[in-house]
Amino acid sequence: MNNHINIIGVLTSGGDAPGMNAAIRAVTRAAISQGIRVKAIYRGYKGLIDGEIKEFSSQDVSGIIQRGGTIIKSARCTEFQTPEGRRKAYQTILKEQIDALIVIGGDGTFTGGRLFAQEYDIPVIGLPGTIDNDLWGTDATIGYDTSLSTITECIDKLRDTATSHERVFLVEVMGRYAGFLTLNAAIAGGCEAAIIPERASVKEQIEDAIGNGRRKSKNSSIVLVQEHAVEGGAATVAQMIEKVHPEYSTRVTVLGHLQRGGSPTAYDRILASRLGVAAIQALLDGQRNVMIGIQNDDIVLVPLSKAIHQKKDIKEDSWEALQTLSI
Ligand code: ATP
């Protein structure tokens, strides 16, 4: 029936992101409503290789829309990066009679999915699930909005301490190789600066950062540092500041995995729900090897190759806004 899709497999892979559960729920219920059976694959591609699979009913995804993490677990699986690993994964596909795969994750997950679809005759649909928001072709990824709110909340708390002491607080923020979380959390948290990989000279960014806060007679500065803006992250930036400006005392806070957790925001739940339903529709329409994304609040289908390989740039006006507002 329906482009010969009788059974789909769904997995979450790579770093977990809040809203993945909402996406699993949406995919499951949208599929079942079309008469398609759903097999949940545990632990990402590892579970596909090992055959760790459970068929889901509508009830299996009850009460999960508000939960962070992923109920079907995630994993990083190097074996799937080998032809032998993918061959084993395909054996599972055949054994379980899975007709199409929905993969929820970031660019690594999509890279693996795309390769798998090229080597074997299996349609793959990607749902962007990563806090990093670094996939081209979608305005937002599932988990990004929640993570942004979490980081902003942490900054608000730090601000209380920062204003009580004359210090430079350096806060290390995740994001892989993209500065979206760092830049936008800096705007939302009213920070003095953001140090991001998209801007060339970390030294110059530091001078701007320190200059901004001190020059304008602020008694404290909060500067966000993207984890990969410089090797060693915020700790390296702290050393660089204290070397050039020994008069400033620095404190480093690494937010770490706190940034991934928590109940998804309404935005992420709605996004995950819409993208999940659209993924099933795309399969019924005969689509394959595409990411379901959102642009200007409309659902879009983007070839996986583009989502992975094209570079998504930070918004220049956001960068300018941060500079203008941090005086
Ligand atoms: P996040 O952005 O949150 O880190 P991600 O999906 O990019 O998520 P990765 O760890 O990069 O996370 O990738 C997830 C999984 O995808 C890997 O563990 C691996 O199983 C598979 N994968 C990644 N790259 C490849 C590749 N080149 N070939 C085959 N599989 C891959």
Which amino acid residue places its CA nearest to atom 31 of ligand 1?
112
78-113 per-position pLDDT tens digit: 999 999 999 999 999 999 999 999 999 999 999 999
C-alpha closest to that of 132 among 307, 323, 288 = 307
How far, in Å, is the centroid of ligand 1 from the Cα of 77?
Answer: 8
User: What radius of gyration, in Å, describes the C-alpha atoms of the chain?
Assistant: 21
What integer pLDDT is reported at residue 285 of this predicted model? 97
List alpha helices for the chain, DSSP H.
20-33, 44-50, 83-96, 107-119, 144-164, 180-188, 202-215, 233-244, 266-284, 304-309, 316-325
The pLDDT assigned to 240 comes to 92
**What pLDDT shows up at residue 1?**
43
Residue 132 appears among annotated catalytic residues: yes
Q: Which atom of ligand 1 is nearest to the CA of 116?
A: 29
pLDDT at site 275? 98
Kindly report the protein residue whose alpha carbon is nearest to atom 25 of ligand 1: 112
pLDDT for the residue numbered 247: 82
Mean pLDDT per 10-residue interval, the chain, length 327 residues = 83 97 98 98 98 98 98 96 98 98 97 97 97 97 98 94 84 95 97 91 82 60 94 94 87 96 97 98 97 98 97 94 90
Locate 291 and state its tokens. 């990411």
Q: Are 227 and 233 in contact (CB under 8 A)?
A: yes
pLDDT of residue 303: 98
Catalytic residue among 99, 107, 132, 268: 132
pTM: 0.96
Contact in structure between 249 and 85 (CB atoms under 8 Å): no
